[in-house]
Structure 1
Amino acid sequence: MTDIKTDILVVGAGASGIGAALSAAEKGASVVLLEKGDKFGGAGMFGAQGLFAAGSELQKENNIDYSPKDAYQEMMNYTHYRSNTRLTRAIINKSADTISWLSKNGLETELVNNTQEVHQNHPRVYHQYIDKFNGFQKLIDKFISNGGRLFTKTVIKKFNYTDGNIVNVVIDKDGHESTIYCQKIIFSDGGFVGNSEMVDKYLQISSKNLFSMGERKATGDGIRILAELGADTSGMGVFENHAASVVSNTDPKWHNDTIFTLTNLPFLWLNRNGERFVNEDICYDFALWGNITYTNGGYYYFILDQNTIDYLKSNQLDWTNSFERTFTTLAHTPVTHVVGPFPNIESDIQESIDKGATVVGKDVSELSKYLGCNPDTVNRNLNEYNKIISDNNDSDFGKSTEFLKFPVSKGPFYAIKAQSTTLGTIGGVSVNDNLQALDKNGRVIKNVYATGNNASGMYDTSYPTLEGISCAFAWNSGRLAGESAKATLNK
């Protein structure tokens, strides 16, 4: 490769990077887009199925009365005003236009029911991609038709920055180095969930109890460069907690449909001390479910006794698999609101035992021993829960009576470990409402931007319950950064 001159360099070709690159290119800037992997799209394409918006044309057409003002207030109430108000306002105010902008450029969306059971009474905000892979390709085609250049399998080797100006950027593509000369740089490479060292540094639980569904190649490269420039990293450490998963430490690709479904139901949960700690129907809100798992050390056990196993083997249960609506929304099929029966439940549980995800005890004492818990504590909590079932009233945590169905009284007892799950890091460096990176004194680091999971400020300590908001943050932060970078060229 020969040396390259461009107005704007965007690092990372996920949703925020594509949003930044295309927004700048269509307004006349020359743009180079770098991608570490061999494919564009990132988590915004391979992971997400859609995004949040407030006040979109699709919502108006469907008589959904949910304005940017409503969304802003809901977000600020959720974060208790411990987030960046100007950034939050900018992202939400941009969201409706982004739905139209995506459609104009080839990625259509449709307004669907909110994908989680507990959010059905909330105004519809989830704009699901239509034909997303072809749609993303059309966005890239539009970027290239506007003069943009995309380089895959390319990483930054050196970033030379002096007195507020980018001197040059040395890149490596397929083992060949070259130099890029640019005025502006936008770091959009997805946070650091793929960097185990950084995750261990900022995680508040043991990383062995974190199951990551995030982008593995998001290894914090951009954040590292930003930190070297003096960017404020005080917002690091916020993870997109999302439900809980049963995983095998010996076989990370293991999946069992029965165990997966059982994890998504509100049975009895005990924490690492053998105590019940929450109304288990929290599993119907993925963000809150993820948060309570995280704050209890990153894992819990859901407990089944032999009577429950026998029942589930031959009976249908009139509960909803908490993930079923997500899958049926994608497929445009109705929710069944039933699960089971599970005729192979015994062999499925044996498989989870073999994979190290489940322990079984013939009585409470043996179960407690395997869990490493005080048997008196476990026994007391089981007795208290059984009384709750008998009274049909959860006076401890307020679990809905429809789920007070299964006492835990007959051995053997099965404890299945559910671990904290993340979709990625959502804490990065501080930015303003133009997504310009800020130093520790809140001053702009000239000509440098951070978007998507490289930027902090939209959240306080966790992912909010507004569906699709992190993907919306990616697209909208990218667009805002691209537009700002173009508008301030030569300034």
Structure 2
Amino acid sequence: MKALSTTVVIVGSGSAGISAGFELYQQGTPFILLERGEQVGGAGKFGAHGVFAINSKQQRAKHVAYGYADAFKGLTDYNHFFVNGELLARFLKESGENIDRLAEMGLPVTVEQSEQKAHLNDPLVYHKFNDFKKKMTNWDKLPDKFRAAGNQVLTGMAAVDVEYDDGLKAVIDEDADGNRTRIAAKKVIFADGGYCGSPEMMAAKYADNAALLNLGERKADGTGIRLAAKLGANTDHNPVLFAHGCAPSLSINPMRRDSSVETLTNLPLLWVDQTANRFVDENVVYDFAMWANAAHNVGGQYYVLVDQKTLDQFRTQEVAMEDTFERQFCDVGETPKTTVGPLPNIQKDFDAAMTSGEVVKGTSVADLAAKLGLPLAALRRSLKVYNQAVESKDDAVFLKAADALQFTVDDGPIYAIVEHCAILGTLDGVNVDRNCQAVGKTGLPIKDIYLVGNNVNGLYSDGYPSYEGIANGFAFVSGWIAAKEAVKSLKQESVEA
């Protein structure tokens, strides 16, 4: 087996891992960064548009009143006190300074209004990357800085085991050909992003796993969580999906922005679940987390129903509805569109999606019910009640706003877009202390073992909350915390020696 040695091993180069690496680089502590992909970065690089923070210099300059007390109480209450209070407090208190760190890393952000329509009147806590493409370019420059300081960044290398005997002895990694390397080290920071890439772990935790649309990092296979558990770390926690929006498929998803089918799924039209009943005020589409949670609650899948008349209207007219993802793809300072259409290719897009099964067409209500396996009586009732709500502009059940009650769904032809709960990852894993050090069942820390980002329990009780950018913000801050604590521990050990 090939042998290397260093002081700290970082597993994963997403937001948490790259943040940990930057801190060690600044501190002059030797490290090896392992990335199982062929290029550095994870969900924070390829998908995230910003981070949550409080008390940043930018917020203070804008006299933002929302601070620690509001955020701590809000998150604690939201999670019904199923939180790691010490870790939550430390994250919040260091989140503002992290904004300055991001600028030092070449990943500058600007505090601005939420990207989500449901949160336009929320306090200014969201800090958006100034330039999404430049963020990815600058991310790729960080490994060169690390290497120039004498560290190693090894891509295509996955951690597979650890040697441990009253402290860390080594991390074992493996390349795509099965060749292994023993890396002697004193500390390890697992920043490998949860377990959404592990079919076994996902199936064990989520009954609707088969219906979920995984838009996250499939290379996040739970390695850090499993290896920490092997060393006695406490992994008891409710499973928490990083549920974020919904989409029909990997080919018709919000990141591609090239299908009218996807556009219609991003609007508050008529939705029914797999029992043919409405299940939510469809305006929830404007809150990514709650939208996905609503879909997760009905088995991870539902149907968006439109008739031919509605399709033709979208093809030829501008409709006063906002695409929920419109704001996400605006750069800082850009003005979003608040209408949709005309969509001249909509019929072509729907016909193509029918071939692939992402859209099902019924010549009548009965035909559609038969093709989807829905109870006909329930579907007819849902259409009748919804159409009455549209006509009267009064949704007596789900209280949908009148301006969103625009389209009835009449008998044939009717299209059903098969919509799935989308996930960006998972948000549960290992219990840690306020220093991001793994703890065992008794609560005592496990020496030398740190977990960060989506590997960590304690920020969420059962679902991703509507605090925009909080997962990415926590990833950067927790990586920073773990690296600082690892250095502090190393210095203490040196003194004791």
TM-score w.r.t. the length of structure 2 is 0.93
For residues 62 and 140 of structure 1, do their structure 2 counterparts lie closer, same or farther at Cα, with a shift above 3 Å needed?
farther
Q: Percent identity?
A: 35
Tell me the SS of whatever aligns to 1:158: strand
Is the 1:306–1:410 contact (alpha carbons within 8 Å) kept by the matching residues of 2?
Answer: no
For residues 96 and 233 of structure 1, do their structure 2 counterparts lie closer, same or farther at Cα, with a shift above 3 Å needed?
same
Specify which of 303, 325, 328 is matched with residue 327 of structure 2.
325
Q: State the alpha-carbon separation in 2 of the partners of residues 389 and 431 from structure 1.
A: 50
For residues 177 and 336 of structure 1, do their structure 2 counterparts lie closer, same or farther at Cα, with a shift above 3 Å needed?
closer
The corresponding residue for 2:108 is 108
Shift of 1:332: 4.1
For residues 459 and 210 of structure 1, do their structure 2 counterparts lie closer, same or farther at Cα, with a shift above 3 Å needed?
same
The corresponding residue for 2:44 is 44
The corresponding residue for 1:346 is 347
Q: Mapping of 1:297-312 within 5 angstroms? A: 297-312=299-314
What per-residue deviation string (whole Å, max 9, x for no partner) do you get for residues 285-326 of structure 1?
000000000010101101112222232222211111111111
Shift of 1:2: 6.0
Count of matched residue pairs: 488
Is the 2:243–2:464 contact (alpha carbons within 8 Å) kept by the matching residues of 1?
Answer: yes
Q: Mapping of 1:166-315 within 5 angstroms? A: 166-173=168-175, 176-205=179-208, 207-235=209-237, 237-247=239-249, 256-315=258-317
Is the 1:107–1:139 contact (alpha carbons within 8 Å) kept by the matching residues of 2?
Answer: no
Specify which of 132, 155, 159 is matched with residue 158 of structure 2.
155
Tell me the SS of whatever aligns to 2:423: strand
For residues 318 and 441 of structure 1, do their structure 2 counterparts lie closer, same or farther at Cα, with a shift above 3 Å needed?
same
Shift of 1:253: 11
Shift of 1:138: 4.5
Q: Structure 2 stretches of 5 or more lacking a match? A: none
The corresponding residue for 2:71 is 71
Q: Give 1:183's aligned amino acid.
A: K
RMSD (Å), alpha carbons: 2.2
Q: State the alpha-carbon separation in 2 of the partners of residues 298 and 179 from structure 1.
A: 42
The corresponding residue for 2:8 is 8
Q: Give 1:160's aligned amino acid.
A: E
For residues 254 and 47 of structure 1, do their structure 2 counterparts lie closer, same or farther at Cα, with a shift above 3 Å needed?
closer
TM-score w.r.t. the length of structure 1 is 0.94
Is the 2:22–2:105 contact (alpha carbons within 8 Å) kept by the matching residues of 1?
Answer: no
What per-residue deviation string (whole Å, max 9, x for no partner) do you get for residues 137-166 of structure 1?
45434434544322222223431112x311
Q: Mapping of 1:413-428 within 5 angstroms? A: 413-428=414-429
For residues 141 and 360 of structure 1, do their structure 2 counterparts lie closer, same or farther at Cα, with a shift above 3 Å needed?
same
What per-residue deviation string (whole Å, max 9, x for no partner) do you get for residues 169-192 of structure 1?
233357553322222111111111
Q: State the alpha-carbon separation in 2 of the partners of residues 257 and 434 from structure 1.
A: 45
Shift of 1:119: 0.8
Q: Give 1:350's aligned amino acid.
A: D
Tell me the SS of whatever aligns to 2:312: helix
Tell me the SS of whatever aligns to 1:488: helix
Shift of 1:34: 1.4
Is the 1:25–1:147 contact (alpha carbons within 8 Å) kept by the matching residues of 2?
Answer: no
Q: State the alpha-carbon separation in 1 of the partners of residues 196 and 413 from structure 2.
A: 39
The corresponding residue for 1:336 is 337
Q: State the alpha-carbon separation in 2 of the partners of residues 283 and 407 from structure 1.
A: 18
Q: State the alpha-carbon separation in 2 of the partners of residues 252 and 107 from structure 1.
A: 23
For residues 404 and 16 of structure 1, do their structure 2 counterparts lie closer, same or farther at Cα, with a shift above 3 Å needed?
same
For residues 369 and 105 of structure 1, do their structure 2 counterparts lie closer, same or farther at Cα, with a shift above 3 Å needed?
closer
Q: Give 2:12's aligned amino acid.
A: G
The corresponding residue for 1:400 is 401
For residues 167 and 313 of structure 1, do their structure 2 counterparts lie closer, same or farther at Cα, with a shift above 3 Å needed?
closer
Tell me the SS of whatever aligns to 2:396: coil
For residues 407 and 20 of structure 1, do their structure 2 counterparts lie closer, same or farther at Cα, with a shift above 3 Å needed?
same
Tell me the SS of whatever aligns to 2:324: coil
Shift of 1:331: 6.4
Q: Mapping of 1:440-455 within 5 angstroms? A: 440-455=441-456
Q: State the alpha-carbon separation in 1 of the partners of residues 321 and 175 from structure 2.
A: 52
Tell me the SS of whatever aligns to 1:234: coil
Is the 1:170–1:180 contact (alpha carbons within 8 Å) kept by the matching residues of 2?
Answer: yes
Higher deviation after alignment, 433-442 or 393-402: 433-442
Higher deviation after alignment, 124-133 or 260-269: 124-133
Is the 1:192–1:425 contact (alpha carbons within 8 Å) kept by the matching residues of 2?
Answer: yes
For residues 294 and 89 of structure 1, do their structure 2 counterparts lie closer, same or farther at Cα, with a shift above 3 Å needed?
same
Q: Give 1:195's aligned amino acid.
A: S
Is the 1:52–1:466 contact (alpha carbons within 8 Å) kept by the matching residues of 2?
Answer: yes
For residues 183 and 361 of structure 1, do their structure 2 counterparts lie closer, same or farther at Cα, with a shift above 3 Å needed?
same
For residues 141 and 252 of structure 1, do their structure 2 counterparts lie closer, same or farther at Cα, with a shift above 3 Å needed?
closer
Higher deviation after alignment, 401-410 or 467-476: 401-410
Is the 2:215–2:250 contact (alpha carbons within 8 Å) kept by the matching residues of 1?
Answer: no
Q: Give 2:37's aligned amino acid.
A: G
Higher deviation after alignment, 444-453 or 346-355: 346-355
Q: Give 2:391's aligned amino acid.
A: S
Q: Give 2:437's aligned amino acid.
A: Q
Q: Structure 1 stretches of 5 or more lacking a match? A: none
Q: Give 1:301's aligned amino acid.
A: Y
For residues 14 and 251 of structure 1, do their structure 2 counterparts lie closer, same or farther at Cα, with a shift above 3 Å needed?
closer
Shift of 1:99: 0.8
Q: State the alpha-carbon separation in 2 of the partners of residues 137 and 472 from structure 1.
A: 19
Q: Mapping of 1:407-486 within 5 angstroms? A: 407-486=408-487
Shift of 1:235: 2.4
Q: State the alpha-carbon separation in 2 of the partners of residues 296 and 246 from structure 1.
A: 15
